[in-house]
Structure 1
Amino acid sequence: MVGQRIRYYRKVKGLTQEELAQGICSVSYLSKIEKGDAKSSDEVINLLCDRLGISPNEANNDEILEMLDEWNMMMVNKRFDEAGEFQKTVQEKMQGVSDPNILLRYELFNCRCIMVCYDNFDEAFLLLQKINGLIPKDNLFDLQFYYNQFLGMCFSTKYQPQNALKHYKLAEEYHQKSNLRDIEAAVIYFQLAITYNELSKVSIVNFYAYKAITIFDKEYNYSRSADCQIILAIANRRVRNYEQAIYHLDQALKYAKTFKDDNTEGIIYHNLGNIAATKNEHSKAIKYLLKSVELRQHQSPDNVMNTLWLLSKEYFYINNLEESIKWIEKGIQHVENSINPSFFHHFSILNYQIHDNKSGLEEFLRKEAIPFFENQDQFEHISTYSELLADLYFDQSLYKKASLYYRLANNARKNIF
């Protein structure tokens, strides 16, 4: 509708209704035009469009909408290389398009492309901030869905799970009001499962992961089904249901080997190593973790940092300090540039342990690490490190302090369930 286009371009140009209406019509009349509530004269419409520098005529944009939908589905189905190439075609077709709803849809899908095809979440975040305010709040639920989903993705990469969760939940609500496909809902369910996993909310992880996997399986989207299996495995490991965790990883591994997906296979071996480590099967854990590093050797350091940390821990536990230090040094090389601040604390704690610096470890845990993980609501690490600090106090016969941190560890563990 021409009224929506007028509203969109007025906001894009930073004009108030008073500034646009001046000398043409009343502000209340312009407001009705923008809402589609007024039978406006052609003369008024032409004057408003002329001031905005747009044409009052609207084209048939069905072909462009189909192309945008095809582009979006490439990214939903993880065909990222294809989507990156298709972006050039989309940009060419968008030349001369003036419909605000189509322009907003393009800008939103372009944000998704910048994130998933080019791994540039900072640029996407800036673009989303510019889009904010251009999408009407009372309709266009599909655009609100995408806006909140993509903003949630940005906050996830900034390791702000609570902010990510807020926008994913809004996206879930907007999907229910829209006519979008089920697979779009499945992606949101998966993203919610990941976010609740970061917050160690195991039962809710299972709820959303199973909702997602039901749809992905029905759509034969095996890549995303494998991602769900991995999340279910992590949730089951957290509650020490190791047999079920290994079952889910085996299901994911069938996909990864069939489609020769080295990255997914590397993630699976990382999680198999983590399960073995949790069961104190250190040799088996090291074998799996080394396999994970090998499969993901071309990944960015941030993607394998967790594996480097686990490897350094496992070598420490079998008293191979030389290997442990080697893997710590590999991790520390990338800590300063890592977007995940958790690893500074993980590697620092292990460094104190290797050098048997108990006083330094006690102070770092109390003043730095535990408060940091409390602020991040990372209950698994709160539990682990609070128990470590409590053990230090217990060994020094400081039973009151030990009791305080044993209680903190126990309360954090309750939040995991």
Structure 2
Amino acid sequence: MVGQRIRYYRKVKGLTLEELSQGICSVSYLSKIEKAGAKSSDEVIIQLCERLGISPEEADNKEILDMLNEWNMMMVNRKMDEATKFHSEIQRKINSVIDPEVLSLYDLFLLRFYLMNEQINESEELIEKLKKFQDDFNNKLKFYFNFFMCLYYNFKKEYKKSLASLHEAKAIYKEVGLNELEKAVFYYLMALTYSYLSRISPVNNYANKALIIFDKEYSYSRSADCHILLAISNRRISNYDAAEYHLNQALKYSESFNDTFLCGVCYNNLGYVASCKKEHEKAINYYKKSLAFKIDQPDINKLGTKFLLTKEYIEINKIEEAKNLLDEEINGILNSPKNEFYYHFLILKYKLQNKFTKKFEQLLKEAIPFFEKQHIWDYVAMYSELLADYYYELSQYKSSSKYYRIANNARKNIY
């Protein structure tokens, strides 16, 4: 253990083997000490520790480990107010800890804390620190590092990297000794990531695994999350009855806990299903209910629902309502960095104005690769088909055929 601590603090202080060993022992001897491959003298250990400013004595870490595990479970249960208060207590204790394994575990749970609070700058600084010690992690630390990197990559919308991290974690998760609730959260994260990639079968597999555990543990808000993922998967394969069943289950749990965020998500998705069924008035009512629940949420959380609501108004020829809703959002969107809503609302603007010009064509040509990169195949298919129709009307049949083919290939990615 002392060798591990020496290696950890040498890296923390940015010292090479040569710099730390100078005047104390040979480089090869220090390397063996760090790898626990040499029987080291007490005198050498004391000198190395003095140079690093640490104690050579081992400490009892049971109390701080218990606190870290309790803190982690607060976050697993999404009790972030409690986790924030408890973090202050942990900070007072962690300063006296010298064990690198415990310190790395603290940093990993701190990464989870930052990510759940959307403190991305702090998360990225901590990730860079953790990467320095990644090669020395035991299986438990490796699991949590890859697990939380998935959370980070999902936030950055880098879903293939997220999935790669999850597979690294999955390879060792059985060796970590997770409790049932942590297993369920891991299964849910697998399902969520596959959902971002429109992979129906693995979503259903992992969401159902997670749902069984959450129901058993009476974690019904988490059960609602699983029902929403299952609803989205069923909607993508046009199984609308099953989608509505899962959304109504999620809504029942959300309403019972007065969870306005999840209620907003449920009504948004119910609107989407109704739209797919060509029940446009019903879809509009659901979208309005969703916005009512989102009234105190950040504007970014409302844009998706407003986009879908605008589309429904166009479908039933309520052009004035569609224009009013579009006008509310368009200036803010045009003055923001290009994101999915930039393309959604601008395309709607051209459709409303019935201006199918070269600028409209160029916009679609920008939008399609944007959504391809995001793996949002629904919109790749939708906008490719729209561009194909545009070319068809201009008798540009070769270009039309190309984009119909892209639309069909996009739909094949939803499986």
> Which bracket does the TM-score occupy, shorter chain normalised?
over 0.9
- Which structure 1 segments of 5+ residues have no match? none
2:290–2:305 Cα contact (<8 Å) kept:
yes
Q: Which runs of 4+ in 1 moved over 6 A?
A: 336-340
Counterpart amino acid of 2:284?
Answer: I
Match of 1:86 in 2: 86
Counterpart amino acid of 2:42?
Answer: D
Shift, 1:397, TM fit: 3.0
Match of 2:132 in 1: 133
Match of 1:248 in 2: 246
Higher mean displacement: 317-326 or 402-411: 317-326
2:361–2:387 Cα contact (<8 Å) kept:
no
Match of 1:119 in 2: 118
Match of 2:15 in 1: 15
**Cα separation, 2, equivalents of 1:40 and 1:331:** 68
TM-score by length of 1: 0.95
The CA RMSD measured in Å over matched residues stands at 1.8
Shift, 1:333, TM fit: 5.2
Match of 1:285 in 2: 283
**Cα separation, 2, equivalents of 1:220 and 1:31:** 50
Give SS of 2:171's match. Answer: helix
2:350–2:360 Cα contact (<8 Å) kept:
no
Match of 2:383 in 1: 385
- Which structure 2 segments of 5+ residues have no match? none
Task: Spell out the pairing of 1:9-408 with structure 2 (5 A cutoff).
Answer: 9-116=9-116, 118-137=117-136, 140-332=138-330, 334-335=332-333, 341-360=339-358, 362-408=360-406
Shift, 1:196, TM fit: 1.5
**Cα separation, 1, equivalents of 2:406 and 2:88:** 54
**Cα separation, 2, equivalents of 1:249 and 1:151:** 29
Higher mean displacement: 396-405 or 203-212: 396-405
Shift, 1:330, TM fit: 3.8
Shift, 1:217, TM fit: 2.1
Counterpart amino acid of 1:91?
Answer: Q
**Cα separation, 2, equivalents of 1:96 and 1:333:** 53
**Cα separation, 1, equivalents of 2:144 and 2:335:** 30
Give SS of 1:217's match. Answer: helix
Counterpart amino acid of 1:21?
Answer: S
Give SS of 1:3's match. Answer: helix
2:71–2:86 Cα contact (<8 Å) kept:
yes
CA displacement 1:334-370 (0-9 Å, x = unmatched): 5368788211111111111111111246413542111
Higher mean displacement: 166-175 or 10-19: 166-175
**Cα separation, 2, equivalents of 1:336 and 1:33:** 60
Structure 1 residues 113 and 332 mapped into 2: Cα distance closer, same or farther (>3 Å)? Answer: farther
2:391–2:397 Cα contact (<8 Å) kept:
yes
1:309–1:331 Cα contact (<8 Å) kept:
no
1:213–1:225 Cα contact (<8 Å) kept:
yes
Give percent identity, aligned residues only.
51
**Cα separation, 1, equivalents of 2:389 and 2:79:** 49
**Cα separation, 2, equivalents of 1:100 and 1:346:** 49
**Cα separation, 2, equivalents of 1:389 and 1:126:** 42
2:347–2:360 Cα contact (<8 Å) kept:
no
